[in-house]
A and B are shown apart, each in its own frame.
Chain A
Amino acid sequence: MNADRLPDLNHLSDELFVPVERKEEQLETIERPSLNNWQDAWIRLKGNKGAVVGLILIILISLMAIIGPSLSGHTYKEQNVAHAKLPPKIPVLEKISWLPFNGKDQDGFDMYKAKNVKEYYWFGTDELGRDLWTRTWYGTRISIYIGILAAAIDLLIGVLYGGISGFYGGKVDDIMQRISEVLMGIPQLIIVILFILVIQPGIMSITLAMVITGWVNMARIVRGQILKLKNQEFVLASRTLGASNARLIVKHLIPNIVGQIVITTMFTVPNAIFTEAFLSFIGLGIRPPEASLGSLVNDGFKSLQTNPYMLIIPSVIISLLILSFNLLADGLRDALDPKMRK
């Protein structure tokens, strides 16, 4: 609202009624610096608490996955049966009795004393005496690696397939669409299981199995975006706005496609991590002495009643990992949704 309301109308200076030179350029200046797509999205993303939490968690966990194993002084596979089944024990934190890091098991029995162990095993040990801290972070590495690899390959195939299908249209598009519709009708997990049965499980085979039908979703999204772009081009042509505006449109639409691709990828990663964990659970996953979060959870189940920490720790980490990717992906999707731009 105008702060200076009407002055006394009878006592206005004459010179106020002088016409103003109007300059053409002034007219086209846009009042507020218009945020380009990315800046606006970034602001909204930052405002989304869930997404921020997710991002921080991802960074933290990834960091631990990288440096964690080297911190403990053990490797992920060295066994020391004498030190088997020790509960977690962390210096300093062990003083806090209600935290589960004091080296005492379910019944309050100090296993370390009983077995005369001087070292601290931060996450405890498993039934073969392997250090769980190292194994857990090593397993995290594997899980993240598989997740990202699967998402990357999905992206490659999906973008190519969807791009070709959408760009060429017509018969090519029709046929390609029929094929992918059929593929979508087959439950992905079934294909994955069948595949792994034929090719023995390992990091590469698991990733490959996931990618066989995984790319279909990405292809669908990319194709959808391209079709949208094509439509807008026609409108553009019919408005005959000229080349410079075409560039503007391209500057806006390409980011949109990239945006959708990023979002879809962000959702693929946790899916892949989950699938791998699931496979491990039914025995088709990473085999020992290798470890992944899924295989660790699987191992942990066997000791649920006696040493729950073996289950809880990898469970918490894998849940956090998947959760943080989902939060970030959700936030990205909300941030890049044009309908939400206020």
Chain B
Amino acid sequence: MENILEVKNLHVSFDTHAGEVQAVRGVNFELKKGETLAIVGESGSGKSVTTKAIMRLIPSSSGSIKEGEILFAGKDLTKLSDSEMDQIRGKEISMIFQDPMTSLNPTMTIGKQIMEPLRKHRKLSKVEAKKKAIDLLHLVGLPQPEARFKQYPHQFSGGQRQRIVIAIALACNPKILIADEPTTALDVTIQAQILELMKDLQQKMETSIIFITHDLGVVANVADRVAVMYGGQIVEIGTVDEIFYDPRHPYTWGLLASMPSMEIDQNEELKAIPGTPPDLLRPPKGDAFALRSEYALKIDFKYEPPVYKVSDTHLVKSWLLHPEAPEVEPPEIVKQRIRLMPGNYKEPLLVKGV
């Protein structure tokens, strides 16, 4: 399956009073057609910034892409002008945000807001656009769209607003949909509905989805592949099975170990990851997670870890996979879930050129 998006060595920094904050420090990943890639990580890990960089939505007064390429449809998105990007946003790549209460313009009818991308990108007439908009609202499961077309956002509930936002995002059949924590602000039951909706629409429209979340439960539900981010870097990436059943990075272990589930032994303690996220104003030398990891090696404080391939689809950025590294055991909870992955190599392979 071909890659629809390739991000290579992306570096994004912000200018602040205190200095340059390196929010994204060398991120690499691909997105295949029709798949859902989940990006997980805690606040400040750089997941939102990465996707905003893809959309080129970072105001130049706050920050910029310092290095790297974003390849889409034969073009490098980092090199496009703003008006060229305007042709891509909403049409080829769409984005939806976390808070449905603030995502919509409060003084514009929802009908108009859905018609906007249709009229701009598809050059539809007002009548055609209205019809298509109503179809979209049906599609996302909004009841009585004809009647509610002229209503304002505040007249809808949070879940309904998020459906409208999804309708707007999918209006022009984009190749990629970026969803930045779209269900975090919603009730759990509504959350499930929205996730089902998104999966359903993805099947119908063959859209690739980048799904940002900090909730591993959601990941298990929607993702084909998962990228784990920490301190502005991807520390582990693989299929959803590989990540859940054969994780290799201590941070991933930490995430999985702190997730309550029905399967674990009642007597096992949930492990919280101690400490706080790193200061990206002065990024730590070596492995960013070392300070909080109980598996840290001396070398983790000196040099940044290289990337190893555990299978065709599973990459890990850690010194623990170096041949000379000691054998370590993941926490009990994680160990209990481990399964043998058929695609694994005999030995982890060093990825060159990192």
Contacts and interface: CB of A to CB of B under 8 A. Distances in A.
- A–B contact via C-beta, under 8 angstroms: yes
Given A17-B326, A32-B281, A6 B304 contact: yes
Contact of B299 (A12, A24, A26, A28): A12
A17 B322 contact: yes
Interface string A307-342: 000000000000000000000000000000000001
Contact of A30 (B276, B281, B303): B276
Given A17-B299, A20-B296, A27-B274, A5 B291 contact: no
Q: Which of A6, A20, A43 has the most CB of B within 10 A?
A: A20
Nearest to A35: B18
Interface in B252-299: 274-276, 278-279, 281-283, 285-286, 290-299
Given A15-B298, A17-B325, A31 B279 contact: yes
A5 B25 CA distance: 13
A2 B304 contact: yes
A4 B303 contact: yes
Interface string A140-180: 00000000000000000000000000000000000000000
B319 interface: yes
A166 B97 CA distance: 35
A1 B292 contact: no
A6 B322 CA distance: 13
A12 B324 contact: yes
Nearest to A341: B17
Contact of A43 (B11, B17, B325): B17
A31 B278 contact: yes
A297 to B, nearest CB: 41
Contacts of B286: 2
Given A19-B326, A342-B16, A6 B274 contact: no
Q: Which of B286, B290, B304 has the most CB of A within 10 A?
A: B304
Contacts of B294: 22
B279 A32 contact: yes
A8 B82 CA distance: 42
Contact of B297 (A2, A19, A43, A342): A19
Contacts of B17: 43-44, 47, 342
A22 B296 contact: yes
A2 B301 CA distance: 11
B185 interface: no
B201 interface: no
A4 B322 CA distance: 18
Contacts of A198: none
B273 to A, nearest CB: 10
B306 to A, nearest CB: 6
A22 B306 CA distance: 22
User: Interface residues of A toward B: which range?
Assistant: 20 to 34
Interface in A1-57: 1-2, 4-7, 9, 12, 14-20, 22, 24, 26-28, 30-32, 43-44, 47
Interface residues of B, number: 40
Nearest to B17: A342
A47 B16 CA distance: 13
Contacts of A19: 295-298, 326
A17 B326 CA distance: 7
Given A5-B304, A17-B299, A19-B326, A28 B275 contact: yes
A20 B296 CA distance: 6
B42 to A, nearest CB: 15
Contact of B354 (A6, A28, A32): A6
B304 A27 contact: no
A51 to B, nearest CB: 15
A30 B281 CA distance: 13
Contact of B298 (A2, A7, A16, A342): A16
Contact of B303 (A7, A20, A27): A7
Nearest to B13: A1
Nearest to B279: A31
Contacts of A30: 276
B31 to A, nearest CB: 25
B302 interface: yes
A4 B274 contact: no
B350 interface: yes
B11 A4 contact: no
Given A1-B25, A2-B304, A5-B304, A16 B282 contact: no
Contacts of A12: 299, 322, 324
B22 interface: yes
B282 A20 contact: no
B180 interface: no
B116 interface: no
Q: Which of A2, A15, A28 has the most CB of B within 10 A?
A: A2
B306 A9 contact: yes
B300 A20 contact: yes
Nearest to A31: B279
Nearest to B296: A20
B353 to A, nearest CB: 10
A149 B226 CA distance: 65
A14 B299 CA distance: 10
A2 B298 CA distance: 16
A44 B18 CA distance: 11
B276 A20 contact: no
A22 B275 CA distance: 11
Contacts of A17: 297-299, 319, 322, 324-326
A86 to B, nearest CB: 53
What are the 9 tightest A-B residue pairs by CB atom distance, in nearest-first order?
A27-B275, A31-B279, A16-B299, A342-B16, A20-B296, A2-B304, A27-B274, A17-B324, A342-B17
14 contacts: A2-B286, A4-B302, A5-B304, A6-B306, A15-B298, A16-B302, A17-B297, A17-B322, A20-B301, A27-B275, A28-B275, A32-B279, A47-B17, A342-B16
Given A4-B285, A31-B279, 19 more contacts: A1-B22, A1-B26, A6-B303, A12-B299, A12-B324, A15-B298, A17-B319, A17-B325, A19-B295, A19-B296, A20-B296, A20-B298, A20-B301, A27-B274, A27-B275, A27-B292, A32-B18, A32-B279, A342-B16
Interface of B: 11, 16-18, 22, 25-26, 274-276, 278-279, 281-283, 285-286, 290-304, 306, 319, 322, 324-326, 350, 354
Interface of A: 1-2, 4-7, 9, 12, 14-20, 22, 24, 26-28, 30-32, 43-44, 47, 342
